[in-house]
Amino acid sequence: MSEPALKSSADTALQPIRRAEGEPLFTEPWEAQALALAITLQQAGCFTAVEWAEALGAAIKRAQAAGDPDDGSTYYHHVLAALEHLVQVKRIASADLLAARKAAWIDAYERTPHGKPVELR
Amino acid sequence: MNPHEHGHEHHHEGDLAHHHDIHSELPSDPALRVKALESLLTEKGLVDPAAIDAWIEIYESRIGPRNGAKVIAKAWTDPAYKRRLLSDATKAIGELDFLGRQGQHIVAVENTPETHNLVVCTLCSCYPLSVLGLPPVWYKSAPYRSRAVLDPRGVLKEFGTELPEHVKIRVWDSTAEVRYLVLPERPAGTEKLSEEQLAALVTRDSMIGVAKVKAP
The yes-or-no verdict on residue B205 having pLDDT over 80 is yes
* B48 — pLDDT class (breaks 50, 70, 90): very high
Cβ contact B33–A6 (<8 Å): no
pLDDT of residue B99: 54
Q: In whole angstroms, what is the distance from residue B162 CA to residue B142 CA?
A: 22
Side chain identity, residue B80? A
A79, A56 in Cβ contact below 8 A?
Answer: yes
Roughly how many angstroms between the first and final C-alpha of chain B, as a whole number? 50
Side chain identity, residue A53? A
B62, B90 in Cβ contact below 8 A?
Answer: no
Instruction: Give the β-pairing of B168-173 and B115-120.
Output: parallel
CA distance A106 to chain B (A): 7
Residue of A nearest to B179 (CA): A49
Q: In whole angstroms, what is the distance from residue A110 CA to residue A39 CA?
A: 31
**Could you read off the pLDDT of B75-84 as tens digits, one per residue?**
999 999 999 9
User: What are the residues facing B173 on neighbouring strands?
Assistant: B120
Which has more confidence, B17 or A98?
A: A98
* B61 — pLDDT class (breaks 50, 70, 90): confident
CA distance A83 to chain B (A): 9
* A10 — pLDDT class (breaks 50, 70, 90): low
Q: CA torsion, points A22, B28, A89, A26, in degrees to nearest 10?
A: 10
Can you tell me whether residue A37 is helix, strand or coil? helix
Average pLDDT over residues B52-75: 92
pLDDT of residue B12: 39
Of the candidates B56, B51, B36, the residue with the CA atom closest to the CA atom of residue A84: B36
Residue of A nearest to B38 (CA): A37
Cβ contact A25–B38 (<8 Å): no
Average pLDDT over residues A49-70: 96
**Residue B44 CB neighbour total at 10 angstroms:** 11
B169, B114 in Cβ contact below 8 A?
Answer: no
Using a CB-CB cut-off of 8 Å, the residues of chain B touching A114 are 1-3, 6, 21-25
The yes-or-no verdict on residue A3 having pLDDT over 70 is no
pLDDT of residue A7: 41
Q: In whole angstroms, what is the distance from residue B172 CA to residue A67 CA?
A: 28
On the 0-12 / 13-18 / 19+ scale of CB atoms within 10 A, A6 is middle
Per-residue exposure over B173-206, b if at least 16 CB sit within 10 Å of its own CB, e if not: bbbbeebbbbbbebbeeeeebeeeebbebbbbbb
B163, B116 in Cβ contact below 8 A?
Answer: yes
**Could you read off the pLDDT of B143-157 as tens digits, one per residue?**
999 999 999 999 999
Closest by Cβ to A36, choosing from B1, B55, B101: B55
| Residue A34 contacts B, CB cutoff 8 Å | yes
pLDDT of residue B1: 36
